[in-house]
Structure 1
């Protein structure tokens, strides 16, 4: 399961709670429903903190990278210490400790303790972290998916809106074909096209 799937499952879980509350006659105000879904979408990325390429590990630069390294080593050590005779040997800790109920309890207890001891500033910090993760894991991925659909429908990107990679791909010099770039492109072809062997031109 990749980051967007984690985020979607977290948001869906909160929306399910909202639906249950509405069915019980105590509907949530829409701001609570929306903000809660975003917070859960960010929190759902926590299990992947043991993988260096995960969304949560890249979200806050060196800080999250360092925390990822510590978590990965801890997960690996716990797995080796608790591995049974039938369990396979592993060189990393991904999908071990952080994918257990114990990790979920520890994360929840840690967040609760921070909110109680730190007061409103701790709550705001937790809210900020989770919203950043939600945007990174859910909304930005959704935007990229929708833009791919629009590129397919329109046949070309809209200047000023699409990421540089798509604009460059769509505005390659006439006659450039990345799979055969060195043999068919002229001198005006960007070096990135000359090195490419798999990218396709979107027109």
Structure 2
């Protein structure tokens, strides 16, 4: 492990502890000597990290500090690149472009040695076996979710039956060959799932009366409840 990665790991370890933690415990979690720990803490303090404490008392990191320039471990960079490549290939065009732009911004502030790793990550995403063809702009659904806004949709179910619905979208699930809107359906007065490729039209219909987070929490509780046998 390089010294840069070790400093990053120390920051992450300190962030996990909200209360002061002893130097001996930190050194054990890091797998380094106490002397190396004290030296690394001093280095981070010189770079602006608000690490309070002293030997024999314990250390705590005040929130809000990022290493300048932005630092990631090798595995964190791999996760970012793989996730970006998946989003670019599996989401709508707007979200895919946003993912690529975000990765470019991250790369611009990485040190040169990490930037070189970013460009050479050998983790690839295979093309989807089934192409998803949406008839509506999925980015509008994501905007409605963020704004807690109702949508009027024309929907065709798996039996080919058309219906008009007013839904309260609160989440969007991305699968390999399909995208699913999780929503409260006014017609059914219950939670329902809607495939985006079966939505023919959509239009905004004002804010819905509940908070998105509350709907998501309630839906998760129902989804994770034990099934009756």
TM range (shorter): under 0.3
Question: Normalized per residue, which structure has more helix?
Answer: 1
Question: Normalized per residue, which structure has more strand?
Answer: 2
- Relative to the length of structure 1, the TM-score reads 0.23
- Relative to the length of structure 2, the TM-score reads 0.21
